[in-house]
Structures are given as C-alpha cells and as structure tokens.
Amino acid sequence: MRLRRSLFAALAVAPLLALSSAHATTLRVGIQDDPDALDPATSGTYIGRFVFAAMCDKLVDIGQDLSIVPQLAEKWTFADDQKSVVFTLRKGVSFQDGTPFDAAAVKFNIDRMQTMKDSRRKAELAAVASVDVLAPDQVRLNLKEPFAPLLSVLSDRAGMMVSPVAGAKEDFSANPVCVGPYKFVERKSRDLIRLQKDASYWDAARYGYDEVLYSYIPDSTVRLARVRAGDLDIAERIAPTDLKTVRDDKNLKLHSAPGLAVSHLMVKVGEPEKANSPLQKDARLRRAFELSIDRNVINRVAFNGEYTADNQMIPPSDPFYPKSHPAPARDVAAAKKLMAEVGATTVPVEITFENALTDARVAQIVQSMAKEAGFDVKLLPLETATAIQRYLAGNFEMYIGNWSGRADPDPTLYAFFACNGGQNFNKYCNKDLEGVLNAARAEGDIAKRKQLYDKATGIYLADLPTIPIYHPNWFFAARAKVDGVVVYPDGLLRLKGVKPAS
Amino acid sequence: MSAPEVAAASVGRGWLGRKTAAGRLIREPAAILGGFIIFGFVLAALLAPALAPYDPNASDWMAIRQAPSAAHWFGTDDLGRDVLSRVIYGARASLAAGFLSVGIALVIGLPFGMIAGYFGGVADIVISRLTDALLACPFLVLAIALAAFLGPSLQNAMIAIGISAMPVFVRLARGQTLAVRQEDYVSAAWSVGLSHPKILTAYILPNILPPIIVQAALTTAIAVLAEASLAFLGLGQLPPAPSWGSMLDSARQFLVEAPWMAVWPGLAIVVVVIGFNMLGDALNDALNPQD
C-alpha cells in the first residue's frame, strides 16, 4: 500500500520534473584555456576576462565600436583640468551576495586593486591618486596627472567591482562575488566552471539562460566537433581554416568580429653592447626585411585570408587607427637595394617563437619569403615557458609576439614603445616617440589625441623596432538555436540578449 | 687428423653455423619482406635528391593543400609544398633517428651491461640501480623530457631516444653475460690468464650478440616511432626540414579538408615500423632455432 502510494507520487511528480528541467536552460560554452584565478585584481588571462564577462559588471563597458558606454556607472564627468572624474552610480544595484553596491564599494575595490599584494592592476591604476565618496551614488577618482585612457582601463578588470564582504576574504578567487548577471556556482580545475543566473541582477530580464557552463577544451578542432555534435552551444576561437565547415553546416552560425590583437615580429634593437645581429644595428635592414615579406600571402596561406594583414600595432577597426601609414607592398628589389646600401648581401636572422602550429606556419612562410631577398632565416621554435622566458629577458634576435591588444591605443603603444614600457623587451627607446605618447595620454580631446597617435605611428614605423604582420579576428561557432550572440572586438562573450531561439 | 685440419673443421662448422642462421633468415618470408621494405626506404633516403620531384622546402603559394594530382602525386601541404618530396626526404630523419639512436643505446648500454654482468659486486649494483632508475620512467616520457631539456633539433632527439633506449640493452647484456660467464670456455680463458678486456670482447661478446641483434632491430622500430612522436610534439627536426612526425603535426588541423597531408607520412611510419618488426621477429627465429 505504502509502496503503491509512493509509486503514485513518483508518477505524479515525474512530469513536473521533466517540465522544470526543460525550463532550466543551460548555455554550454567550449573555451580554449583554463582560466587562472577568478579574481579581477589578479587575473592575467584573456579567458579569465571571457568568464568575467558573464559574472562581473564593470564601471563602464565598451560598445561594438570601442566607444565607452555606461554599465555600473550611469554617467561620468571629467573636471576641467582632466585631473579628476566623478562617476554617478546606478541605483538599487546589489552584489550577488546581497551586499548593496555603492560608492563606498567602489572605493574599496580601487583600494584593493592598488594595494593587494598580487594585484596585477597596480600599473593600470597607477594614475589614480585617491578615491572620494561624495554620496552613496557619487564617487570621485582623483588623478595624479591627466590620463585619457582611464575609462578604457575601467572597462576591463580594473573596473570590475567585487563584493566588499567577499573581497575582504583571503580565498576570494575560490568564491568570487561581483555584480553581474550570472553568479559563481562551482569550478573544477582544468574541467569546467558553472555559473547560475542571479535573479536579483539589475538587468536580469535581458539574460535568456538560467545557467552557463564553461568547458575547457584546448583543441579548436575538438571544440568545433563538439559544437557540431550538439554537445556545446558555443565554441570560442574557431581556427580560420575551419570556417568553411562552420559556414556549410546549417545547424551552426558563425559569429565574428575584428580583433584588437596583433602578431608582430619584434626585433631586438636595444642593448647594442650585446648586439651581434645586423638587424639590431640598422633600421634599413629591418625595412628591407619588411619589404621582403608579403603580409597578404601570410594571411591567405596561414589563415585562409580570414585575418587582417596590416603593418601597425593598432588594428584598423580602432577609431584611433591612422590611415596615413598604409602597409607597404612586397618589393624584393627594393629590399635588395636597401641591403646593398648597407653593404650586405646575405643577412642572418634567427626567429624565436612559441612552438604552436600558427606561429610555426607564419615563421616558415616568412623564412621562405625573406630568403628571396637574401635573408638567411633560422627558426628556433621553443616550448612555451622557455620561449616566454627568453622574451622577457630580451634574449632573441627576432621574436613572434602575440599581443592581445586593448580598446585604447595607449596601453599597447606605451607598453611596447615607451623606453620603460611593460612589454618593451627589445629595449627600444626613442625619446621623441615617448614624448608624443605622453602628450597623447594627457590629451582629453579625441581629435587631437588622434593626431598625436598618427605622429607616433610615423615614428615607430620609421624606426621599425617591430614588424607587425596581422591582426587576428574573432570567430565563434554557435548552434543556430542560440539567439543574440554578438562578438565584440575584445573577443568577450557578452550574454546580454543571448537566449534560446523560440 | 692433424691439428690444422681440426682448426679448419671447427672454423668451417662455425661458419656453417652462421650460414645456417643466415640460411634460415633468407628462407623466412617475413625477413625478406621486412628487409625489402627497409632496403627500399634506405635507398629512398640516400637517393632523395634524385627521387624527389620537387625541393621539399619550396613553397608554391598558389597551390596550398591541393589534392593529389599528376603534378603532385601525394598532394601539397598547408604551405604549398610537395608531400611526396617531403615524405621521401622525411625518410632521412626517420631512418637516421632509428639507426643512430639505437647505435647510441648500443655503444653505451652494451659495455655497461657486460661490465655489470661480468664483474658483479659494486659495479653491478651501481649500474643496475641506475638502469632501474631509468627504466622506472616510461620510455617515451623520458625521451620527451630529455629532448625538451636539450632543445629541439634532430640531433638532440636522437640523443634523447638513444639514452632512453639504453637501459634495455644494459639489462639484456648483463643477463646474457651472467649466463655466459658460467660457461667452461670462459673459465678456461680465465685460467690461462687472459685479460678481462680480452675475455669480454673475444669470448663473451660474440656469444651474447644474437639476442642483442634481435633487440636492436626491434628497438629501431621503436626509435623511428619515437622520432615521429618527438617531431609531432615539435621536439625533433627543426622546421622547415621535413620529418614524418612534424608533417603529421601540421596535418592534424586539416584531417577533414586535406587528409592526404596526414595519410602519406602516417603510412610511411607504419610501413617502416612494420618492416623493422618483421625483420626483428625473423632474426629472432633464425638466431634462436630452438624456439
């Protein structure tokens, strides 16, 4: 009797269960890397930002055209001297643990990122002198000097606000709490990260999935196979050579955006006392090397022409991209002439790179093309850790650098070309260029800033401490039944408006 | 029967014995096929410049990932290079790695194994424990670790494979020496006062060789595979020089669109490895007729 009753109960409940599981929708996303610590203050990877995009709102966000748009801050006003900015915060917003989000929380976060021992945001926020809480929804950032890229900095991890309650704890990254549409549920290292919709999020109505599940699948071919099999809903970073497969599959949709990243041939130019490579000594040889390679062929052969061949560190999609410096066409005769001017016939060059298929392919194409002008190119593929170590130590003649890029030109140009820039491992130093970059930093007027970057571009392209080759573009494959996927130039998956197709 | 005749007869029997082994070998179909395969690849490696229709490193930017055709029998790869030419030149890397790394393993492993087995005592303990330590690491893992440590190049890959393959030879040589040193002719040589090096080279070595030869043939197959594995991981032949393993690595991305990029080097590896295995098995049967 009792058995019968429980059986009956089970039968009655079963359809309900089925109904509720049909309603709980999960977005399954395949990601290429396993993120590092899930703490905006210490995170240092693209894939970490990728996950944060669903979990942590920022003071401001970027739009598809790289303009700055409101997010947690509804508006902002710069002081006339450009040395402070007042943010008006969105009202009625709370963190995923229920703590209210207010000006004091902003101050807590900026302080935390500036003082925390392992914080990677210190350099980004170096311009911020202090934070004043003016009202619960008014906060002022005081700057040491005018710093035009500030909003761009705050549109990334430095602008992500974590709950002061959770942020005060040591193990924040094991249980991250932000303001964001999806809250952290669990993480299995090198396997998955599960997020769940936060119903109290201020804009919750525009998020169509109840749960997001990120699965770590390093191989892009495997990610594609799994999204084709319906095992994933979205796969990030599909290889350009696989795009035809995605386009031909009517169950899939290809989503793409021009990227901010750049792949460039960095030449060791500084430290002449250690110099023994001809390219290091003479900019004419670097120019000759540039003329000997055909960027369009590299793009076509290695990337099916899906990337953007270009000669600048800033991508053409950037509003600050100067159009006055087009990429020179391949000209072997001109390259040989330059080499003859220097008095060289064969010039040895060694290219160091991380041993990955993409870079290996580019290196071999460069090797083969530069040979025609008389460059004797040797390739040195190294295992990732060793390659990065050499890069950081400046121990290379030429290095294939892959820089993720930023929404603002300053972080890229300053890092690579300022004499003490954070990525200036080829020890390039030109005081004129540094002066122009500093002026651009302090310039609040967009048109004037643009002119300064035009000038800066002219200088570095003449010195050629690095030879940019291409900008990768973003390609995500999604099931056709996932609606509203929009890829931004920063390559992050913003889930606003993403929902199951009806 | 005079003394010289006895000597002649015994030499004759010795020759005859070897002849019988050789005779058994050539009657073994596996040996003929295996030998034929290996001879073919050795020939291809030696005559590569004459046989290959194209320069293996020359790219044709207008002919990327083209299917096999009259112009390119095996198709072209992701950089527009002729796959047939690269497979032929790739035989050089594979066979060199196979033979030279086994050579390295033999040159180091054989003497140490014989010393351990012949002298015993401290020498045996030290050599055997070191060998055990090396054997504790799986072969390929050890090879990868060594190759990564030494840096990528064909030469370093061969050294890494040679060192990884060495412990097996130490073990085998030691075991065989232990068995042979009990034999009466070794005691006899000892008692007439021959030096240790003389006994080791003239009395022990020839008698322990048959299993070592078999092992060497089988290890060559493993070494060829290991070279391909290391090259696949980017720890072998430096680009752009062709190696079957690195060809497979770059073909990996195009398994669906350009299967010929993977099929030919893959087939080459399979055939060569089968060749060495068949030869090794046949040698084993020929040299150990009691089996």
Q: How would CATH label the architecture of A57-163?
A: Alpha-Beta Complex (3.90)
Which is the CATH superfamily of the domain at A262-471? Dipeptide-binding Protein; Domain 3 (3.10.105.10)
Task: Name A216's bridge partners.
Answer: A31
Q: How confident is the model over A319-331, as a mean pLDDT? A: 94
Residue A377, H or E segment? strand A375-382
Its pTM stands at 0.82
For residue A355, what pLDDT band results from cuts at 50, 70 and 90? confident
What pLDDT was estimated at residue A20?
45
pLDDT of residue A21: 46
- B40 and B216 in contact (C-beta within 8 Å)? no
Residues of B in contact with A238 (CB under 8 A): none
CB-based contact A178:A97 (threshold 8 Å): no
Cis peptide bond upstream of B240, omega within 30: yes
Q: Which of A273-277, A431-435, A448-452, B148-152 has the lowest mean pLDDT?
A: A273-277
Q: How far from A316 is each of A172, A313, A470, B12, B185, CA to CA, in Å?
A: 38, 9, 11, 85, 85
Q: Is the C-alpha dihedral spanning A181, A184, A185, A188 positive or negative?
A: positive
pLDDT category at A224 given cuts 50, 70, 90 is very high
- Residue span of the structural domain in which B271 resides: 3-21+28-64+71-287
Interface A-B, measured as beta-carbon pairs within 8 A, has a size of 60
Q: What is the pLDDT of residues B32-44, one digit of tens each?
A: 899 999 999 999 9
CB-CB contact of A43 with A29 (8 Å): no
A406: Cβ contacts below 8 Å, ≥ 6 apart: A152, A156, A260, A412
> Rounded to a whole number, what is the distance in angstroms from the first to the last CA of chain A?
44
Total domains in chain B come to 1
The owner of tokens 């580019």 is A362
Q: What is the mean pLDDT of the segment spanning A204-223?
A: 94
Model confidence at B4: pLDDT above 60: no
Distance from CA of A58 to the nearest CA of B (A): 37
A298 → chain B, closest CA residue? B61
- Asked whether residue B125 carries a pLDDT value surpassing 50, the answer given is yes
Residue A270: C-alpha distances to residues A273, A347, A438 (Å)? 9, 19, 21
Which among A245, A302, A382 is the nearest to B256, CB-wise?
Answer: A245
What value does the mean pLDDT take over residues A188-193?
93
Is the model's pLDDT at B9 over the cut of 50? no
Q: Take residue B188 and report the two structure tokens written for it.
A: 């006899």
- The percent of residues above 90 in pLDDT, for chain B, comes to 76
Q: What is the pLDDT of residue A78?
A: 94
Backbone dihedral angles phi then psi of residue A146, each to the nearest 5 degrees: -55, 135
CB contact under 8 A, A355 and B234: yes
pLDDT at position A399 over 90: yes
At residue B2 the predicted structure's pLDDT band, cuts being 50, 70 and 90, is: very low
Give the containing element (helix H, strand E) for A55. Answer: helix A46-55
At A240, list the tokens.
């350009």
SS (H, E, C) A193-234: EEEEECCCCCCHHHCCCCEEEEEECCCHHHHHHHHHCCCCCE
The answer to whether A52 and A162 are in contact (CB under 8 A) is no
Shortest Cα distance from A379 to chain B (angstroms)? 7
Contact A301 B249 (CB under 8 A): no
What would the DSSP string read from start to end of A173-188?
A: GGS--BSSSEEEEEEE
> Taking 90 as the threshold, does the pLDDT of residue B257 lie above it?
no
Instruction: Provide the shortest C-alpha distance from residue B245 to chain A (in Å).
Output: 13
Among A241, A242, A360, select the one facing B239 at the smallest CB separation.
A360
Task: List, as one string, the DSSP characters of A231-266.
Answer: S-SEES---GGGHHHHHH-TTEEEEEEE-S-EEEEE
User: What is residue B5's predicted lDDT score, i.e. its pLDDT?
Assistant: 43
Does residue A1 have a pLDDT over 80? no
Q: Min CA distance, B233 vs chain A (Å)?
A: 9
Q: Which residue of A has its CA nearest to B150?
A: A382
Evaluate whether A33 touches A158 at the Cβ level (below 8 Å): no
C-alpha distances (whole Å) from B79 to each of A297, A299, B267 are 10, 12, 21
Q: Which pLDDT belongs to residue B23?
A: 75
Residue A361, Cβ density class (10 Å: 0-12 exposed, 13-18 middle, ≥19 buried): buried
* Tokens read off for B169: 């030879």
Question: Is the pLDDT reported for residue A95 higher than 90?
Answer: yes
Cα separation of A417 and A396, whole Å?
Answer: 17
pLDDT digits (tens, 9 = 90+) for B199-213: 999 999 999 999 999
Task: Taking residues B97-101, report their average pLDDT.
Answer: 94
Residue B1 has pLDDT above 80, yes or no: no
Of B80, B239, B254, the CB nearest to A241: B254
Q: What is the pLDDT of residue A159?
A: 96
The structure tokens listed for A3 are 């058995």
A223 to chain B, minimum CA–CA distance in Å? 12
Average pLDDT over residues A371-393: 90
Distance from CA of A377 to the nearest CA of B (A): 11
A360–B250: do the CB atoms touch at under 8 Å? yes
Q: Which residues contact B103 (CB under 8 A, 6 or more apart)?
A: B162
Indicate the pLDDT class of residue A23, thresholds 50, 70 and 90: low
Q: What is the average pLDDT across B72-87?
A: 94
Place of tokens 């060789």: B209
Provide the mean pLDDT of chain B.
89
What residue spans define the domains of chain A? Answer: 17-32+181-258+474-500, 57-163, 262-471
Contacts of A221 in chain B (CB under 8 A): 252-253, 255
- Per-residue pLDDT, averaged over A36-40, amounts to 93
Average pLDDT over residues A149-156: 94
Residues in B touching A360 (Cβ below 8 Å): 234, 239, 250
Contacts of B256 in chain A (CB under 8 A): 245
Interface contact B240-A221, CB threshold 8 A: no
What element of type H or E holds B226?
Answer: helix B205-232
- Under the banding of pLDDT at 50, 70 and 90, the label for residue A388 is confident
- The shortest C-alpha distance from A186 to chain B (Å) reads 33
pLDDT tops 90 at residue B95: yes
Cβ separation of A361 and B79 shorter than 8 Å? yes
Read off the pLDDT of residues A363-375 as tens digits, 9 standing for 90 and up: 999 999 999 999 9
* Element of type H or E holding B188: helix B184-191
**B254 contacts A300? CB cut-off 8 A:** no
Q: What is the CATH number of domain A17-32+181-258+474-500?
A: 3.40.190.10
For residue B223, give the CATH number of its domain: 1.10.3720.10
The confidence score (pLDDT) of residue A19 equals 44
Q: Residue B217 corresponds to which amino acid?
A: A
Closest chain B CA to residue A300: B61
Segment among A6-20, A107-121, A371-385 with least mean pLDDT: A6-20
Which residues in chain B have Cβ-Cβ distances shorter than 8 Å to A237? none
Residue B238 has what pLDDT? 87
Reduced to 3 states (helix: H, G, I; strand: E, B; else coil), residue A297 is helix
Q: What pLDDT, on a 0 to 100 scale, did the predictor assign at position A308?
A: 96
CA distance A456 to A435: 9
Which residue is listed with tokens 């193990």? A171
pLDDT at residue A249 is higher than 60: yes
The mean per-residue pLDDT over the stretch A293-312 comes to: 95
Residue whose tokens read 């540039």: A290
Q: What is the distance between the alpha carbons of residues A315 and A312, in angstroms, rounded to a whole number?
A: 7
Residues on chain A touching B239 (C-beta within 8 angstroms): 360, 363-364, 379, 381
Nearest to A254 by CA among A219, A229, A228: A228
For residue A18, name the pLDDT band (cuts at 50, 70, 90).
very low
Which residues of chain B does A301 touch, with a Cβ-Cβ cutoff of 8 Å? 59, 61, 64, 78-80
Mean pLDDT within A308-322: 94
